[in-house]
């Protein structure tokens, strides 16, 4: 069902993004909603001029700084708060680092060369995984987890979304609890793509495009 929905949406995507103004899918407003994503399919690409900032993370730090649209920073803070809450619930602590593969990158969408990517306006982030530090000595490890998880460990979208061996199922549980929590919120990301979407086996792509699309 999700694959068919994604395909149907993809057919409509070029005309949607070329529109200068789209109704916000969450009923709210966002600073980039009125910016057209339409560009020439070939030749030198000039991305829309938007204010950018370097953001390192406030609730949970990013492994490398994120270069993003200034209005995207608050969405990232809310994301970090969800990451911390889910990490604490599953593992007894929040991760100490979020690993990402990229933020601002002035480029076209691969399958739609007449559209600028949300990365081209600093409005997207590709999340590869999470780094957890050791559990505090006086903190209790949640029931059912192996004692080895008192030490530091990592969670990877590529390796742990469909884990093998099954002993790592707690990592898939963390990733799915996180994406479930993000999908349930309409004030963080509008587009959430994961391993079920072509080209996303090793990361989650999150952005605030002026439409709603969830394929995880």
pLDDT digits (tens, 9 = 90+) for 22-48: 567 887 889 999 999 999 999 999 999
The half-sphere exposure of 154 on its side-chain side, counting CA atoms within 13 A, is 11
Query: How confident is the model at residue 2, as a pLDDT?
Result: 45
Query: How confident is the model at residue 21, as a pLDDT?
Result: 44
Query: How confident is the model at residue 122, as a pLDDT?
Result: 98
Distance (Å, rounded) from C-alpha 75 to C-alpha 49? 20
Pick out the chain residues at pLDDT < 70: 1-23, 167
Residue 148 phi, psi dihedral angles, 5° rounding: -60, -20
Query: How confident is the model at residue 164, as a pLDDT?
Result: 73
Query: How confident is the model at residue 3, as a pLDDT?
Result: 42
Query: How confident is the model at residue 70, as a pLDDT?
Result: 98
Residues 6+ apart with CB under 8 A from 150: 134, 135, 141
Query: How confident is the model at residue 212, as a pLDDT?
Result: 95
Reported pTM: 0.90
Distance (Å, rounded) from C-alpha 15 to C-alpha 13? 6
């Amino acid at each position: 069902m999700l694959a068919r929905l994604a395909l149907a949406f993809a057919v409509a995507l070029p005309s949607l993004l070329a529109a200068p103004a789209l109704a916000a899918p969450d009923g709210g407003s966002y600073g980039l909603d009125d910016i057209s994503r339409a560009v020439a399919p070939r030749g030198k690409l000039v991305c829309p001029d938007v204010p950018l900032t370097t953001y390192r993370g406030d609730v949970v730090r990013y492994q490398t700084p994120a270069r993003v649209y200034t209005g995207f920073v608050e969405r990232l803070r809310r994301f970090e708060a969800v990451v911390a809450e889910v990490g604490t619930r599953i593992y007894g602590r929040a991760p100490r680092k979020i690993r990402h593969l990229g933020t601002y990158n002035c480029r076209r969408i691969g399958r739609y060369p007449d559209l600028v990517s949300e990365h081209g306006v600093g409005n997207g982030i590709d999340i590869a995984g999470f780094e957890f530090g050791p559990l505090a000595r006086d903190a209790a490890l949640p029931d059912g987890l192996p004692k080895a998880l008192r030490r530091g460990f990592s969670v990877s979208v590529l390796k742990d979304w469909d884990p093998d061996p099954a002993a790592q199922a707690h990592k898939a549980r963390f990733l799915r609890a996180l994406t479930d929590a993000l999908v349930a919120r309409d004030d963080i990301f509008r587009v959430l793509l994961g391993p079920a979407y072509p080209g996303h086996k090793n990361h989650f792509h999150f952005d605030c495009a002026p439409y709603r699309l969830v394929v995880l």
